[in-house]
């Protein structure tokens, strides 16, 4: 990837507990293809307030926010877009002359994927997770007309709160429940984590489901996705989510919307 930075180069970044290369490659590829004087870098930090102060102080144009920072960042920004305010979770910060405004493009990505994959609205589902990303996914389901769902979360306080806020039930474990769609919104199956080789749902539940949705993007084929594919189930992957949300972030940072062809080429480059 060729880059010729100068004093006017706009910096963008991401903050994640486990940084990956997808966003870096996706954004920088599009910057180069569209002739934009931007550069993108992935970071992690144990000092979240300090990192956000750095965004403001250094004039960093945009920041993608991933697990586990999606909720903790809220108190550190100046303004919430409606997409973030409605679900109390953010994944994007845009810096305009020191004013930090936060958005949630995860919600947009999930809503689009449910439509593109033609998931029947009458489907029952179980969503494992209760954090910021879980809020985005569950809110997109609720707003899309998916009324027959349960939130599965070991954290009873967070799980019950998420479920009750959206009109769903809560369970600590899936148990004997056999929903038509299984959705993982936890780090289970994520590369580099303690549960990287584990399934987010048991084998019997996967076999009984009609489809599986895993928001974990690294690796692109998690143990859950691999098991579902082996069972012949349709899947929605975290790679699809991260690609669409990254596109919407790109537009917020630059004001430029790539063509569909440019978008698909950037996704292919980022995956390579």
Residues that are catalytic: 70
- The structure tokens listed for 149 are 């769902």
DSSP conformation letters of the chain:
------TTPEEEEEE-SS--SHHHHHHHHHHHHHT--EEEEEE--S-HHHHHHHHHHHT--EEEE-TT-TTTTGGGSSEE-HHHHTTT--SEEEEETTEEEEE-HHHHHHHHHHHHTT--TT--EEEE--SHHHHHHHHHHHHTT--SEEEE-S-HHHHHHHHHHHT-EEESS-TT---SEEEE-SSTT-TTSTTTT--SS-HHHHHH-SEEEE---SSSS-HHHHHHHHTT--EE-HHHHHHHHHHHHHHHHHS----HHHHHHHHHHHH-
- The structure tokens listed for 64 are 């993608």
Closest residue by Cα to residue 216 from 181, 240, 187, 249: 187
Contact between 150 and 128 (Cβ < 8 Å): no
CA 187, CA 55: separation in Å to the nearest integer? 26
């Amino acid at each position: 990837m060729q880059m010729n930075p100068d004093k006017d180069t706009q910096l963008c970044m991401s903050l994640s507990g486990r940084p990956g290369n997808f966003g870096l490659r996706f954004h920088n590829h599009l910057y180069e293809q569209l002739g934009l004087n931007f550069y993108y870098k992935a970071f992690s930090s144990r000092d979240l307030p300090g990192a956000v102060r750095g965004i403001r102080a250094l004039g960093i144009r945009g920041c993608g926010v991933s697990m586990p920072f999606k909720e903790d960042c809220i108190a550190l920004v100046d303004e919430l877009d409606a997409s973030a305010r409605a679900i109390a979770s953010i994944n994007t910060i845009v810096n305009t002359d020191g004013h930090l405004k936060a958005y949630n493009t995860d919600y947009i990505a999930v809503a689009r994927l449910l439509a593109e994959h033609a998931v029947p609205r009458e489907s029952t589902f179980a969503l494992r997770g209760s954090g910021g990303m879980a809020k985005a996914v569950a809110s997109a389901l609720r707003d899309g007309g998916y009324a027959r769902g349960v939130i599965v979360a070991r954290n009873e306080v967070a799980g019950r709160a998420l479920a009750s806020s959206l009109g769903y039930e809560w369970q600590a474990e899936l148990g004997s429940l056999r929903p038509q769609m299984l959705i993982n919104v936890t780090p289970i199956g994520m590369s580099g984590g303690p549960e990287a080789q584990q399934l987010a749902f048991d084998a019997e539940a996967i076999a009984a489901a009609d489809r599986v949705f895993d928001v974990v993007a690294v690796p692109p084929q998690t143990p859950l996705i691999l098991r579902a594919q082996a069972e012949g189930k349709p899947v929605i992957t975290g790679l699809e989510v991260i690609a669409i949300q990254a596109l919407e972030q790109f537009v917020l940072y630059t004001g430029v919307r790539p063509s569909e062809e440019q978008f698909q080429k950037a996704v292919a480059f980022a995956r390579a």
